[in-house]
A and B are shown apart, each in its own frame.
Chain A
């Protein structure tokens, strides 16, 4: 579904990503872990071109996103993204947040979109908050809404950029539960996270990024129980 070939990203003189190649298949739940500054978030943000890569290829459903003539917006509609800081639209109600893009992009009629939005909200237990504004919700609730907002576009893949890092500890669980359910339904997911428990339990593949390269990758069992490289061992020793 997403085929990343030799992805590179330089900021000025700094090399953030130094040739990352990975294939993400339909139904994969890939967790990306690594120390801060290892390029995890940049890697994720390159996947939907929020960050412009400086080299390599990102083939999404057969099209190279680096191609200048490609309709990037059309492809982004199929890639949902959830941000660390939620980034809900504060001037719209929860329902407005969910329906805004599908209606504007003529993907659905207003009533279809609202029906879809209410279905999604009730699945995360927030249907009764549809008329509220984001500022009236807790962090965990906002992040669940943000997940619904991305899902409302009916994407083929979901990208999560440290979705629980800005949450109070007691709210982390409710967001991870939603993500876990999503994974069980077969959604393709790429998750940058510090939640090792989630990576171990939910993902089918873990990428360990260090210094802008994939230092080690494998099944959760291989990564967490049988780490090969010294760097991964010392990283795990610090976070587990």
Chain B
């Protein structure tokens, strides 16, 4: 084993890193990219949860209702179509065909949101189904409407059941946004790719990119754990 071979690249790695990102100031590109990644992820998360909740509620009420049949049918088509198309393809369809005049970021938020909504729907539905039917009956017996009971009684409880799964979906979403560069968005991945093209340095740039995503995912996981613990302080499963 030649130790010089090992030590040498480590030193040059660090030197190159400092040179590219600090001396030549390219960290700004990375930060701007991170900002776009965050905007798209959070925007898509909000849209995804909103769409997912609406679909889950429609499907829940649609089970025994003839009037909601067409809506349930529409929701099924949506989920099937969206889940059957690769994210990149969906993104490009939105950018080049459906929302031609919108900015890449707006398209990204909408396309990732619509994609995420399809997965969230099933997730949230499983959460709603996990809440005891007696809860709906109790709400209705007090005179609350179906929607009022859903909003105040059922959904707050459903959220606790599915928080870990929503966390997984969020993590998948962050990583998925790395294809946003296909529609002219400079997210963190695109930013690093641009720097790599500029400097011809693959090792330094791609390693940094991988570490950035890893750190984001670790931080998100921690935050979700905290949130879970806060919500479960008065957990119904805990028997006194």
Task: State the A residues within 8 Å of B (CB).
Answer: 48, 50, 73-81, 83, 85, 87-91, 100-101, 104-105, 133-138, 149-150, 153, 159
The reply to whether B141 and A48 form a contact with Cβ atoms under 8 Å apart is yes
Q: How far is the CA of A91 from the CA of B232 in the complex (A)?
A: 9
Q: Which of B110-118, B143-151, B166-174 contacts A (4 or more CB under 8 A)?
A: B143-151
Give min CB distance, B157 to chain A, whole Å: 5
Chain B residue numbers with a CB within 8 Å of A101 are 139, 142-144
Task: State the B residues within 8 Å of A (CB).
Answer: 132, 134-135, 137-145, 148, 152-153, 156-157, 160, 234-240
A-B contact pairs, 21 of them (CB 8 A): A48-B141, A73-B140, A75-B143, A83-B137, A87-B132, A87-B137, A89-B135, A89-B153, A89-B157, A90-B235, A91-B160, A91-B236, A101-B142, A101-B144, A105-B144, A135-B235, A135-B236, A135-B238, A137-B240, A150-B141, A159-B141
Give min CB distance, A74 to chain B, whole Å: 7
The reply to whether A133 and B141 form a contact with Cβ atoms under 8 Å apart is no
Chain A residue numbers with a CB within 8 Å of B138 are 81, 83, 87-89
Task: Give me 16 other A-B pairs in contact (C-beta within 8 A), A87-B132, A91-B236 excluded.
Answer: A50-B137, A73-B140, A74-B143, A81-B138, A81-B141, A83-B138, A87-B134, A87-B137, A89-B135, A89-B138, A89-B157, A90-B234, A91-B156, A91-B160, A105-B142, A138-B240
Chain B residue numbers with a CB within 8 Å of A90 are 157, 234-236
Chain B residue numbers with a CB within 8 Å of A73 are 140, 143-145
Chain B residue numbers with a CB within 8 Å of A50 are 137, 140-141
